[in-house]
Every structure is written in structure tokens, then in C-alpha cells.
Amino acid sequence: MAKTTEYRERAGAGRAEPRGASRVTRTTCAVVGGGPGGAVLALLLARKGIDVTLLEAHPDFDREFRGDTLHPSVMEIMDQLGIADRLLRLRHSKVDRFTVETDTGPFTPANLSRLKTKFPYITVMPQTDFLEFIVAEAEKYPSFRVVMGARVRELVEEDGAVRGVRYEDEDGPHEVRAALVVGADGRGSRVRRLAGIEPVKTSPPMDVLWFKFPREPEDAEGLVGRFARGHIAIMLDRNDHWQAGYVIPKGTFPELRHEGIGELKRQFAGLIPEYADRLEHLTDWRKVSLLSVESSRCPTWHRPGLLLIGDAAHVMSPVAGVGINYAIQDAVSAGNILAGPLRESQARLVAVDERHLAAVQRRRELPTRVIQALQAQVQKNVLAPALGSGGSFSPPLLLRLLPKIPILRDVPGRLIGYGVWPSRVR
Ligand SMILES: Cc1cc2nc3c(=O)[nH]c(=O)nc-3n(C[C@H](O)[C@H](O)[C@H](O)COP(=O)(O)OP(=O)(O)OC[C@H]3O[C@@H](n4cnc5c(N)ncnc54)[C@H](O)[C@@H]3O)c2cc1C
């Protein structure tokens, strides 16, 4: 790509931008991807006076069918940043237990209400609102810059190290040079692919179809899950509508699609008959989004000058909805470990030593492995039998006994709420 040498200084953080076809800017940390992981990391670094440029491919944060759950550990992180109270002024609902209705009656495998925290519940808030809030907070710091509609296409590499990225926005091509590039660009990470890092994948036994339908004020609140006749339905209360997930055995979507949207409505209404009439508007497959469920983890999360966090480093199964929680905890660990080295880079124009990047992976890999192993057990012992049952399904004995054993009953709630070895903002 052609580079010019004629630069025009931009306000803030001593950045420079050339005139001409290809513009080059400089920053200390370029974060690719303004999802929960990238946005929170950018905020954490900006608070510490580190120049950070957040590049987000989409022109806005509006996203349908994404995780909208903020677990207690995330809310505690928001509290440590002094922004939890303001965040909770945004429209949200609270879910403090997971109740699953089965053919043998309801049971509650996880209850967060007894957790010893200011936030003993899952905060359900549209991800759009959360991301806009975090970026607005980051914009209060002069060392923060966000570029929306910036699609990262290439890495800038020199002497075997990553030194920046090239992206395109509506003005054409740009280059950002940085002491560190963080790939927080999600499950299909382009940065990961460009860096030649290959995730090791496992394939959980299911896929999920997401759609929405209207919610009336007198409806149930929070989270509803129902297992019956080989099917699983989940519904998340989104105030004026339900976000519904219909879990199907992996790879069976083409068959269902062939049968028609009416068949999806019939099957779902069979599980949730009380809302059958609300499915009327579900008239074509464009209103349904397929989540091909996967679980994966990269063997290495870094290269010289580059770190992966969040879904780019590990895709979590949707069991217990911990993807956002884990992406944000990665961001907090990265912020804690890298703030000092990045400040040093900023002051002395030196690269960030890869040992610090390896320390982020060491801090976050074990918690990720443990939760992925537990999710695999739930998939194998609960979800696969439920999807394959055809007739009545009863949860395994251990799961049914757990809520009745005082010293064990809070373990699932704690694991869902915090994960393993939660990160705190330093
Ligand atoms: C349908 C669905 C439902 C889910 N439900 C839940 C849930 O209930 N609870 C939960 O915790 N998790 C849930 N998840 C998972 C959760 O959304 C992810 O784990 C979480 O968003 C990961 O955060 P992240 O910041 O790592 O990546 P992402 O949120 O994926 O963000 C990546 C960002 O990078 C941007 N990007 C991608 N490529 C480029 C590029 N080349 N250049 C610039 N920017 C780029 C994307 O536009 C995106 O904004 C769900 C996921 C899906 C798909």
C-alpha cells in the first residue's frame, strides 16, 4: 500500500495523519473489534492514559441476537470502575435463577440470589446499550479514539512482529501503527487468521435458532427454559419482547428449513403453548437467526506485537451464557498486566515484550479450560440426552440433588456468576 510522508497533526495523543490515498496514524494500542472484550479493554487502557484506538467494523453497535447478559463478576468490574450505578440506570431486567421446566416438573439448577455481592443476579441489557455506554465512558479520556465502520483487512508486520493494522472505512484505506495490536474481533477473527493462529474446535451437539416475539407486561419475567419431547426452548425477557432460542440437534437446520417456518412455529408452540398466538408475525426465515454452536480455544493467544482476547481466543459454548463474562474478564486481565508495559512503550517508543502477552494467556487460559470442560459435561449429560429423548426427559440425579445439598447448592450459581478465578480491576 502506498504511504505518504506528508503528515498533518491531529488533536490529542500526538497522532499524525497523512494527506493522500493512504492515511497513517499512530497509537500505543490498536484494539480491533468493539464488542464487550475490545470496548472494555479500550476503556481500561484509556483510563490509564494509554493512547488507544478502537477499530470497529460496523458503523454502529446495533446488533440483533447477541448475548445481553452481564454476570455478577462483570457488574463488580463496573463497580470497581465506579460506573455500575450509572450503567444500572439504563433499561435492564434482572434474572437471579435458572428454572428449567421438564416433563417431571420444574427444577432450579442455579440460583444466584444467595451470592455475597451487591449484584446477586444477571443483568439483562441489550448489548447495544452496554457497548454504547462503555464507549461513551472511554470517550471521556483524551487518549481514546474510536473509528466506526473500520474493517481491518491486514496486519502490518516488520521483522517478524506485528506493528499495526490496515483497515478500510468509507474514506478508503488507512493504516494504524501501534506498539500492540489486540484482536478482539470475535469468533470469526480475521486478526487471528492473519496471524496464522488456528483454534482447536470441539463441536457441541446442538445449534440454536434465535427469533423474537412480543412480550406483554403480565408475562413471566426473567429467563424461561423448557425441556420436552426432545426439544429445548429458552426465552430471555427483553422488556417489550422475548428473545427466544430454540435448540435443535446439530446439523438438523436444513431439514427443518425444508419443512417450512410453520413447522418451527408448531414445534416451539408445542413447548411454550401459552405464547403460541404471539408467533404469528414469524412469517419467514429472515426473522430467524441460526447460531451454529461451537466451542474452541487457541493453543497460543499471542505473537510478537499481537494479543487475542475474548471470542477471538476462545469461543465458549452457550451453556450458561458466559461468553461476555469471559471476554470482559480477559480484557480486565489484559488491562492489569499490560498497562505498565504499554506506558513504558508509549514513553520510550519500545515494543511490548511478548512475555507480558504470554502472562495474559497464562492468567486466563485455565479459567477458560475449566469452564469449557464443565460446559462439555452439561452438553454430554444433559443437553444431548434431552435432544435425543423424543419422549419424556428427566435431568440427571446429581443435578436434581444439587439444589438440595446446602454446601453444594450455590456452586452452579457461583460458577455462572463468576466463572473460575475472576479478574478484578487493579
Ligand atoms: C446468537 C448469540 C447469542 C449469544 N448469547 C449470549 C448470552 O446470552 N450471554 C453471553 O455471555 N454470551 C452470549 N453470546 C456470546 C457472546 O456474544 C460473545 O461471547 C461475546 O460477545 C464475545 O465478545 P468479544 O468482544 O470477544 O467479541 P464480539 O462480541 O464478537 O465482538 C467482536 C467485534 O469485532 C468486530 N469485528 C469483526 N471483524 C472485524 C474487523 N475485521 N475489523 C474491525 N472489527 C471487526 C465485530 O463487528 C464485533 O463488534 C451469544 C452469541 C451469539 C452469536
> How far is the CA of 209 from the CAs of 58, 144, 231, 244, 355, in angstroms?
23, 37, 12, 8, 41
Question: Does the CA dihedral 27-30-33-36 come out positive or negative?
Answer: negative
Mutate to test the pocket of ligand 1, among 62, 66, 236, 253 (most ligand atoms within 8 A of CB): 66
Whether the per-residue pLDDT at 117 is higher than 80: the answer is: yes
pLDDT in tens, 144-156: 999 999 999 999 9
Q: Which of 49-58, 105-114, 262-271 has the lowest mean pLDDT?
A: 105-114
**For the whole model, what pTM was predicted?**
0.91
Contacts of 182 (CB under 8 A, 6+ apart): 29, 30, 31, 32, 38, 41, 306, 307, 308, 309, 334
Mean pLDDT of 124-138: 95
Whether the per-residue pLDDT at 8 is higher than 50: the answer is: no
Alpha helices of 15-153 — where are they, by DSSP H? Answer: 36-47, 72-80, 84-87, 127-138
Q: Whose CA is nearest to atom 38 of ligand 1?
A: 185
**Assigned CATH for 7-202+294-418:** 3.50.50.60
Mean pLDDT of 25-43: 97
Q: Same CATH fold, 206-249+251-291 and 7-202+294-418?
A: no
Quick check: 301 and 309 in contact, CB under 8 A? yes
Ordered by start, the domain boundaries in the chain are 7-202+294-418, 206-249+251-291
pLDDT in tens, 359-417: 999 999 999 999 999 999 988 888 888 887 666 677 777 777 887 888 888 988 999 99
Q: How far is the CA of 32 from the centre of ligand 1 (A)?
A: 12
Q: How far is the CA of 257 from the centre of ligand 1 (A)?
A: 25
> What percent of the chain is helix, strand and coil (3-state, nearest 5)?
35, 30, 35
Q: How far is the CA of 84 from the centre of ligand 1 (A)?
A: 22
Whether the per-residue pLDDT at 315 is higher than 60: the answer is: yes
- Assigned CATH topology for domain 206-249+251-291: Profilin-like (3.40.1840)
Atom of ligand 1 at shortest range from CA of 330:
26
